[in-house]
A and B are shown apart, each in its own frame.
Chain A
Amino acid sequence: MNLLLILPIAIPLTAATIGLLFRKSPMVQRASGVIGMAALLVSVIYLSWQTYTDGIQVIQLGDWAAPFGITLVMDLLSAAMLIITAIMGLVVSIYSLYDIDRVKEQYHYYPLLHILLIGINGSFLTGDLFNLYVWFEVMLISSFILLALGNRKTQLQGAVKYVIINLVSSLVFLFGVAMVYGMTGTLNMADLAVKIAEVENTGLVTAVSMIFIVSFGIKAAIFPLFFWLPASYHTPPVAVSAIFGGLLTKVGVYALIRVFTLIFTHDIGYTHTILLWVSGFTMVCGVLGAAAQMEFRKVLSFHIVSQIGYMIMGLAFNTKLGIMGAIFYIIHNILAKSNLFLISGIAQRLTGTFELKQLGGLYRQYPWLAVLFLISAFALAGFPPLSGFWAKLSLVKAGLQIEQYVITGVAILVGLLTLFSMVKIWAYAFWMPMEEENKSEQFGKMKLMGAGGLNLLVTPVIILAAIIIIVGLFAEPFLSFCMLAAEQLLNPEIYIESVLGES
């Protein structure tokens, strides 16, 4: 039992409470926002280190033994997800210091950000299917408000779609939970893994697993359930876009990985084949959608969909290398994608628009911004030696290993098309000259760094770009960490034993 395992939930809760108590003071709000994220990062690094050295960490909240109590479990997959979440939380909260205006701050932006993190961290930590539902709700409720913060018309349009589709997803999830409970009489994931194998009606188990694919699939934005994502992610403030685009869909992917490695492994030939098909379509649809868009953040939103396909593909391979690739891909993708969103925000500050056709000349005026963009964009497209290359390489290798040539071919092709979209943004926003009539006042005058510059916006982007380069150049330790995480996932006995104890 590790008492400190509650910290990834308790720290954001405390930070949110401080923010709520001192609503009148912007200084306290900002300070609690950023310092809270920093404290969270420190705590999850410490906990991950413990998980790495001592094995899976477990806590039973309220001291009620599993499978009856509230169980929090931290294995290496959770550790990886928590660290990346905390990093994103920190950089986005720094970015928000400039990006989020006073009015939105008054509507409790920072407390909401922390409550969002509570939901995300809770989802990554929980060892109980129903609690996963509860954490999803915590996450969704705060994300509803963050999405609508600012009250512009387009935002409300996006938010309505997002709210409705996510409520449907939650409802479907709840059906699934109820059916699982009806079949097995337990909801603790470790206990479920044992008991679901004893259910005689395997057809019903498969049917329930499909319910979970649909529910988590909506959250993860897989084909054909992704349409809500490009309709809403380009509407909120950039900082919110970045954290949504980076993290929220990945929570769905995490949930899929968790249940399809731990619980629903009875009929891999059927369930994982469906996942494989879905992953292929997700990749292709996303990238084609992106090719057709001409708005910075919409292009990126469609790419989220396409990248989700890769992660699901790794899961569907169900081999050590495949799942390792999927986990590494999640980490890399959160970094690269969020960074691109943050850069789109800077570009918008400088030029006053997100429309690629009106953007232009950024390379001439701001060469360093172009460099930062190139790092993230090439990482996303999978250029060596950046992080995306290793992610794609492991997935392609995993595909070839089990002779899934078609889907591997699709993955490589989609990689090329991703490059096409990135080059499109590059060409329109950075390379081509800007037309005189579109030129905004601050263009060319506003500095990136230094006095009166966009320091607070650029610093987070630099931090993320640096992490992308580090992950790319020194990939070995990260890959072996993901390998260990994949090993843990494919040997659920360790997980079950850690939660339920030796019995």
Chain B
Amino acid sequence: MKSLILHTATRLLMALLLIFSLFLFFRGHDEPGGGFIGGLFGAGAITLYALAFGAEKAQQTIRISPLTMIAWGFVALIISGILPMIVNEPFLTGQWLFLDFADTEVKLSSPLIFDIGVYLCVVGFILAVIFSLEEE
């Protein structure tokens, strides 16, 4: 779609949307947010870009193919599932690591890896659909 307004707005909005998607993603677990919603926003940002500049350009920009993204999402899911099995706990049991940086406590966990997997799967799936629809 050739529209100056859309092009300009997309450049501005896309960065905003991506940052917001990351914000939602990290906000998850205890508050509304997480991999799924974050993924929807992330996919929304790239979809907007694909609408403004075409699917081909969007594909070049994100470099990685949507299906590969889904596959890496699966990899993350499997890792987060298998990690607890190493310490003899059932598949998918949350493993937590609390780190102290100055005054803030940073929580690292296997649910975070799981959420990354969900994020990648959601983004990959939506983009796969959008790109193949654009091709038609």
Q: Chain A: residues with CB nearer than 8 A to chain B?
A: 1, 3, 6, 10, 13-14, 16-17, 20-21, 23, 59-63, 70, 108
Among candidates B67, B85, B93, residue contacting A20 with C-beta atoms closer than 8 Å:
B67
> Among B67, B68, B71, B90, which residue has its beta carbon within 8 angstroms of that of A3?
B90
**Segment at the interface with A among B16-24, B47-55, B75-83, B101-109:** B75-83
Once the chains are docked, how many angstroms separate the CA of A61 from the CA of B32? 23
Contact A61 B75 (CB under 8 A): no
Q: Name the CB-closest residue of A to B73.
A: A17
Whole-angstrom distance from the CB of A73 to the nearest CB of chain B?
A: 13
B8 within 8 A of A: no
Q: Which residues of B contact A62 (CB under 8 A)?
A: 90-94
Is A21 touching B71 in the complex (CB atoms < 8 A)?
yes
CB–CB A17/B91 < 8 A: no
Distance in Å from the Cβ of A308 to the closest Cβ of chain B? Answer: 33
Further contacts, 15 of them, CB under 8 A, given A6-B81, A61-B92: A3-B85, A3-B88, A3-B90, A3-B91, A10-B91, A13-B74, A13-B77, A14-B78, A17-B74, A20-B68, A21-B72, A60-B90, A63-B84, A63-B90, A63-B93
- Given that A20-B67, A21-B68 are contacting pairs, would A59 and B90 also be in contact in the complex, using a CB cutoff of 8 Å? yes
Chain B interface mostly helix, strand, loop or mixed?
Answer: helix
A3-B85, A6-B81, A10-B81 known; A21 vs B75 contact (CB < 8 Å): yes
Q: Please give, as numbers and ranges, the residues of chain A lying within 8 Å of B85 by CB-CB distance.
A: 3, 6
Cβ of B45 within 8 Å of any chain A Cβ, yes or no, is no
Number of cross-chain contacts by CB at 8 Å: 52
Query: Assuming the A-B contacts A3-B85, A10-B82, are A59 and B74 also in contact, with contact meaning beta carbons closer than 8 angstroms in the complex?
Result: no
Q: A-B pairs with the 9 shortest C-beta distances?
A: A20-B71, A6-B91, A17-B74, A63-B93, A62-B92, A21-B71, A61-B92, A63-B90, A59-B90
Cβ-defined contact, B90 with A10, below 8 A? no
The reply on B89 being an interface residue by CB < 8 A is yes
Contact of B75 among A3, A17, A59, A60 (CB under 8 A): A17
When distances are taken between beta carbons in the complex, the residues of chain B under 8 Å from A59 are 90-91
Which residues of chain A are within 8 angstroms of B75 by Cβ–Cβ distance?
Answer: 17, 21
Hey, which chain A residues are within 8 Å of B116, CB to CB?
none
Residue of B nearest to A7 (CB): B91
Question: B84 — which chain A residues lie within 8 A by C-beta?
Answer: 63
21 contacts between A and B (CB under 8 A): A1-B90, A3-B85, A3-B88, A3-B90, A3-B91, A13-B78, A14-B78, A17-B71, A20-B68, A20-B70, A20-B71, A59-B90, A59-B91, A60-B90, A61-B91, A61-B92, A61-B93, A62-B90, A62-B92, A63-B89, A70-B92
Across the interface, do A16 and B74 meet the contact criterion of CB distance under 8 Å? yes
Q: How far apart are B86's CB and chain A's nearest CB, in angstroms?
A: 10
**Chain B residues positioned under 8 Å from A1 (CB to CB):** 90
Instruction: Looking at the assembled complex, report how far the CB atom of B93 sits from the nearest CB atom of chain A, in whole angstroms.
Output: 4
Bound-state Cα–Cα, A13 to B77, Å: 10
- Say how far A47's CB is from chain B's closest CB, in angstroms: 14
Complex CA–CA separation, A61 to B90 (angstroms): 6
Q: Which of A3, A17, A23 contacts B78 (CB 8 A)?
A: A17
Q: Is the CB of B94 within 8 A of A23?
A: no
Give the CA-CA distance A3 to B92 in the complex, in Å.
Answer: 11
* CB proximity of B11 to chain A, nearest CB, Å: 32
Rounded to whole angstroms, the CA-CA distance of A489 and B95 in the bound complex is: 36
Interface residues of B in 79-132 (CB under 8 A from A): 81-82, 84-85, 88-94
Please, how many angstroms separate the alpha-carbon atoms of A3 and B90 in the complex? 5
Q: Knowing A10-B82, A16-B74, A17-B74, say if A23 contacts B67 (CB, 8 Å).
A: yes
Q: Distance in Å from the Cβ of B125 to the closest Cβ of chain A?
A: 11
